Amino acid sequence: MTLIFDDLIEMMRFCKGDFDRERILAYVHERNTVTLHLLLSSTTRALLGMLGNLIRNFAMRVVKTQEKVRHSSRTNDIRDSVELQHMEAMMGPELPFDIRLFEQLVAETDGNVRATYQAAQSSPPQRSFYEQGMLVDADIPEALSPVLQKLFGDIMPRLENQIDGVAIYTADTAWLGLGEDEEANKRAGRQQYDVLRKCAIPPNAKVRQCRRCGSVIENLVDGHMAAWVQNAHKMCICLSHWIVA
């Protein structure tokens, strides 16, 4: 989400009021950025919308759970509380924007793309042709030109006012492996993430791997993990079993 806002703000600056499709396309290809296509292509846009919604709901649940365990004196609760506090900060004050702004970005773009397709009276086969062009050739269909104008001329300027621009600019997104920095991308390729706890696994830690989907988790010793992790650890998120790698 941070990377998407960062890229869009830069593109908006680059536009300087000129929303010519070819010019923006040339910029996107030169920078090799995937952000605009993630938003314009219907499949990835739907996924972004779901993701924003999931994360916001998760963040709200973290706050509620934290309220429950905060005053408890049980050892497990105290340990959970520390971890929850950390997560609460990560999805709240430490984010350069309110997650709702991200959802707004996706929803408004979605409304615009739909309205634009409708106004152009493009048939379903035509739309699927446009969508394929975006996915396969990184094209932006001429038909979506009005969306570019709306996105960079109206939606983003409005949202930017409510975003901490400096924090966005300085946020580290190289670990995503989507940038141009080769060293950072190599590092990103080596890094493994715990599919249950959604955190980075330290370099030399033992891992367990799912034999169906290939996801990994850190092979934690019983008793050294929060209660919810202990429960969740029994199975992979795809409901298959782990093997110790």
Residue 53 touches Zn ion, criterion: CB under 5 A: no
Q: Please, which contacts does 88-95 make with residues 24 or more away whose CB atoms are closer than 8 Å?
A: 88/59, 88/62, 88/63, 91/55, 91/58, 91/59, 91/62, 92/59, 92/63, 95/2
Tell me which residues in 82-121 interact with Zn ion (CB under 5 A): none
Residue 219 touches Zn ion, criterion: CB under 5 A: no
Binding segment for Zn ion (CB under 5 A), chosen from 2-10, 79-87, 88-96, 203-211, is 203-211
Residue whose CB is less far from Zn ion, 68 or 241:
241
| R_g of the chain, CA atoms, integer Å | 21
CA–CA separation, 105 vs 101, rounded Å? 6
Residue 38 touches Zn ion, criterion: CB under 5 A: no
Q: Which of 8, 39, 236, 242 binds Zn ion (CB under 5 A)?
A: 236
Question: Which amino acid is residue 200, in one-letter code?
Answer: A
CA–CA separation, 73 vs 170, rounded Å? 39
Phi, psi of 203 (to 5 degrees): -50, -45
Residue with tokens 């739907």: 46
Binding segment for Zn ion (CB under 5 A), chosen from 27-35, 88-96, 177-185, 233-241, is 233-241
Residue whose CB is less far from Zn ion, 210 or 225:
210
Residue 76 touches Zn ion, criterion: CB under 5 A: no
Tell me which residues in 118-157 interact with Zn ion (CB under 5 A): none
> How many residues sit close enough to Zn ion to count as binding (CB under 5 A)?
7
In angstroms, give the least distance from the CB of 172 to Zn ion. Answer: 25
Burial of 222 (0-12, 13-18, 19+ CB in 10 A): exposed
Binding segment for Zn ion (CB under 5 A), chosen from 30-38, 61-69, 145-153, 228-236, is 228-236
Residue 62 touches Zn ion, criterion: CB under 5 A: no
Cβ count within 10 A of residue 163 = 20
Residue whose CB is less far from Zn ion, 71 or 198:
198
Residues making contact with Zn ion (CB under 5 A)? 210, 212-213, 215, 236, 238, 240
